[in-house]
């Protein structure tokens, strides 16, 4: 795991564990249910952030390596299966400052790039139709 992301995940998990322990004490002390529910939601949000960190690491390391090795289908299938259990918006896993950010508006794979015009006519950016 990338060192910076590992540190972030470990810190989040430590904080979530401490927070969860305080929620357990709230239950023992018969604190008002709605207050406990709010704290449980906060713990869940912390764990979801850990999921995003792990997903980011996986995309930047394991998935990238698998793609280079020609194992794209296998890694995509594995990731799609794992994502079934993730209750968060996975799109948040790649922050705007990610190295891949520059690729957001530029298609990465050839299947999403328009074919060069055979007759020299360029497609209109707004409609996609050829223009003289």
pLDDT tens digits for range 109-120:
444 455 555 565
In CATH, what number is assigned to the domain containing residue 120? Answer: 1.20.58.1000
Q: Which of 29, 53, 33, 31 is nearest to 41 (CA)?
A: 33
pLDDT tens digits for range 56-109:
999 999 998 999 999 989 998 998 888 887 775 555 554 545 554 433 444 444
Contact 43/77 with Cβ under 8 angstroms?
no
Name the 3-class secondary structure at 119: coil
Strands (E), 1-132: 122-123, 130-131
Phi, psi of 114 (to 5 degrees): -65, 145
Cα 23 off chain centre by: 27
Task: Find the domain containing 38 and state its range.
Answer: 3-131
Regarding pTM above 0.85, the answer is: no
Tokens of 102: 């520059």
CA torsion angle 79 69 105 116 (round to 10): -130
Name the helix (H) or strand (E) containing 101: none
Domain count, the chain: 1
High-pLDDT (> 70) share of the chain, %: 66
């Amino acid at each position: 795991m990338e060192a910076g992301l590992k540190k972030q995940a470990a810190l989040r998990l430590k904080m979530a564990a401490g927070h969860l322990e305080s929620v357990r004490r709230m239950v023992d002390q018969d604190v008002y249910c709605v207050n406990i529910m709010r704290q449980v939601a906060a713990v869940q949000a912390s764990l979801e952030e850990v999921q995003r960190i792990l997903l980011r690491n996986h995309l930047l390391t394991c998935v990238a390596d698998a793609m280079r090795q020609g194992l794209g289908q296998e890694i995509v299938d594995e990731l799609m299966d794992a994502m079934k259990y993730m209750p968060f918006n996975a799109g948040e896993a790649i922050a705007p400052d990610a190295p891949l950010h520059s690729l957001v508006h530029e298609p990465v794979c050839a299947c999403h790039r328009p074919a060069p015009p055979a007759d020299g006519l360029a497609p209109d950016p707004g409609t996609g139709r050829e223009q003289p």
